[in-house]
Amino acid sequence: MRKLNVAIIGYGRSGCDIHGAFLRSPANDICTVVAVVENDPARAAVAREHFGCDTYRSYKDLFERSDLDFVVDASYSDLHYPITKDLLAHGLNVLCEKPLCKTPEMVQDLIDTAKANNVIFTIFHQYRFNDYYIKMHELLQQKVIGDIKLVRACQNSFSRRYDWQTLLYRDAGSMRNNAAHSIEQIMHLAGSDEMPKIQSKMDIWNSVGDAEDYLFCTLEYSDGVRYEMEVNPSDAFAQDAATFTIYGSRGTMRVYIDKIVYRYYLDEEVPVPVLQHKSIHHPDGSPAYCNNQLVWHEESLEFDEDIWSSFATCSNRFYHNWYDALVNGAELFIKPEHIKAQIAIFCEIERQNPLEVKFKKPDDVI
């Protein structure tokens, strides 16, 4: 198997701890890191130690190389669009971190730039490769709990952030950072890139920046299914919360990173209720209540996953699909057109919840 030469832009949390973690792992049989772009000398030294690669302070230095098969853009969120566009314009394939950019028009510009330069790009939305999500989607397709009525997604924690992910000038905040993955999963569950009906609330509860850390939104698609998404930074019991709770016409499913539990009844085991137009009562005349005589079944599945092992699993699967797309022309797992629709959802939520920009970029910050 031919290995692809890759450069990483940004060796911080995502570049080092997610992309770098996979690229350093035994599961990586497809890529060789030949360059890392990192302005911080200490992080650049770590990258050289990890990969024995070249390091640069500017991504533009990559344009002098002729050996790159693709570039990972793990820069700050507000730099994703200009850097990715420049890379595409110079004939480089790009794997960009989320969020890709600010507006749908920017996404279309990147699509046009890639097409004009005969290269491809994708966005690192890897959460659909989680074991829990793959199995959850399969079970819902089988209608084990009947027709889906309501889906609740939760990414709660007790968090008091004070890093760049709390700054609007960085295109940061809970929606474009945390909720981006769940909203992409919701779009896949809905099977549609349409613009849903949206009601939303964003606020700043615990963080010190000017970007939201609280988000609650409802997305209602044309098939009538309602999806609710919450990122709550004040949930001290978040470890007990399900990642997804799905309510169906015949039962309920709770989905966690390491397990799925669902309770349901079977139509053939339950009498069909007969509508009564008068009040119901027992034979002795005393008042009666509706009794569905449900026969409940409960099943569970367990996965050998925690948050860090799930990162490794998802990265491995995503990178191998990306490799297959680059080398064999396979279909992209995450298409830019799909993310264009997602970013339109982001923009509508932000339109409903305008936040005041209170901070500007200091002169000594890239």
pTM: 0.94
Rounded Cα distance, 332 and 316, in Å: 15
SS3 142: coil
Domains of the chain: 4-124 (3.40.50.720), 128-311 (3.30.360.10)
Residue 7: CB atoms within 10 Å: 25
**Strand duo 244-248 + 148-154: pairing:** antiparallel
70 by DSSP, 3-state: which?
strand
Closest CA to 158 of 242, 240, 233: 233
Q: How many CA atoms lie within 13 A of 44 on its CB side?
A: 11
pLDDT at 145: 98
Average pLDDT rounded to a whole number, residues 141-164: 97
- Maximum C-alpha span of the chain: 91
pLDDT in tens, 192-248: 999 999 999 999 999 999 999 999 999 999 999 999 999 999 999 999 999 999 999
Q: Is the separation of the CB atoms in 40 and 15 below 8 Å?
A: no
Sign of CA dihedral 10, 14, 17, 21: negative
Query: How far is the CA of 308 from the CAs of 166, 258, 304, 314, 315, in angstroms?
Result: 23, 12, 11, 10, 11
CA triple 18-21-26, angle to 5 deg? 140
Q: What does the pLDDT look like over 304-326, one tens digit per residue? A: 877 778 889 999 999 999 999 99
Residue 366, pLDDT score: 87
pLDDT score at 353: 98
Q: What pLDDT, on a 0 to 100 scale, did the predictor assign at position 17?
A: 96
Rounded to an integer, what distance in angstroms lies between the CA atom of residue 274 and that of residue 270?
12
Q: Is the pLDDT assigned to residue 44 strictly greater than 90?
A: yes
